[in-house]
Copies of this chain bind each other. A is one copy, B any other.
Amino acid sequence: MNTNVIGVDMGGTKILAAVVNAEGRILAAAKIPTKADKGATVVIDRIASCIQKAIDKSRVAPESIQAVGIGAPGPLDPGTGVVIFAPNLGWKDVPLKAELETRTGILTFVDNDVNVGTLGEHTFGVGQNVQNLVGIFVGTGIGGGIIMQGELFHGASKTAGEIGHIIVKADGPRCGCGTRGCLEALASRTAMTKQFQKAILKKGKKSILSELTGGELGLIRSGTLAKAIQRKDKLTLKVLKRATKYLGVGIGSIVNFLNPEMIVLGGGVVEALDDTFLDNIRAAVEKYALPNTLNGVQIVRAKLGDDAGILGAAALARQRFKAA
């Protein structure tokens, strides 16, 4: 019976592949470095060999594999499986689906990594049985995915879900996208890093972050934030309070506009936050959401953690295989 699928999580530094059964159980997984600097052909070879490793390890019959699902960074066309642009990998117009199918002989489906993460939470995580949900992932940037009527919604230009670029403060701080006041410019780790640098380097504020980063404030990671929160670092708490307020403003906009049943919050920054900050986000949402719009809307943490990428990709493989 061909009831197994392969889920692949392709990042800038590592490739993860897993054999996942119909119940969403990971039967076996493999991990190898991406070696992005060697170019697209080598990386795709490496993905294929990582898939083979996972199959070998799982001991399932290769013919039991229905399809491969893969979450890739950057804007891409989920129909053709072409990665349009992925600056982390140095990719432009790479036909990932076709190239992988040639190498593995297995039907392959590609989608954006954040969409895949959202689908994973819908299929195997916190959003099971929820028909309409929005996933928000906060890290270096802020990405998101939209599930409508149980399926990923891609939109007219296949770019739906760019919640990091809803404008919450017109004429506000400059964003990496070139405009101003985007949610990402106010609440991502990149935005917070700028605030830490300004406070510590320009205003001379004290913070444990100087010690935790060895003075390299540009290297603040989500784990660094978690440590600084545990140590109750005043500046960290202040900056995070502001960022989570703006997250609440953005979520409030979405609750008023799209009114989904669930908002799933994930990503490194959210994992670093203790529940006080989740409460801070919810308080801001309550302030900005219209009366009654929050009835029936849950705001919850993602629960798949490190497995989100492979499980989401497995869910993608299963859903698209059924529809194909």
Contact = CB atoms under 8 A, between A and B. Distances in A.
Interface of A: 75, 84, 132, 144, 146, 148-149, 153-163, 165-172, 177, 179, 181, 246, 249-250, 252-254, 256-261, 287-288, 290, 292-297
B293 A167 contact: no
Contacts of A295: 156-157
Contact of A157 (B158, B252, B297): B297
A159 B293 contact: yes
A54 B170 CA distance: 48
A169 B170 contact: yes
B168 A259 contact: no
Given A155-B260, A159-B290, A162-B257, A170 B296 contact: no
Contacts of A257: 144, 146, 160-163, 165-166, 254, 257-258
B290 A177 contact: yes
A317 B97 CA distance: 44
Given A167-B288, A168-B168, A261-B156, A162 B297 contact: no
Nearest to A168: B170
Nearest to A292: B157
Given A246-B170, A288-B179, A294 B157 contact: yes
Given A162-B257, A167-B252, 5 more contacts: A132-B155, A156-B261, A159-B290, A167-B253, A257-B258
Across chains A and B, which 10 residue pairs bring their CB atoms closest together, nearest first?
A155-B259, A160-B259, A156-B296, A166-B253, A165-B256, A156-B261, A162-B256, A157-B295, A159-B293, A169-B170
Interface centre among A84, A162, A295 (most CB of B within 10 A): A162
A248 to B, nearest CB: 10
A154 B287 CA distance: 22
A165 B246 contact: no
B296 A157 contact: yes
Contacts of A144: 257
Given A167-B168, A168-B170, A177-B290, A132 B161 contact: no
Contact of A249 (B153, B154, B157, B167): B167
Contacts of A246: 170
A138 to B, nearest CB: 15
B294 A146 contact: no
Contacts of A293: 157, 159, 162
Contacts of A75: 292
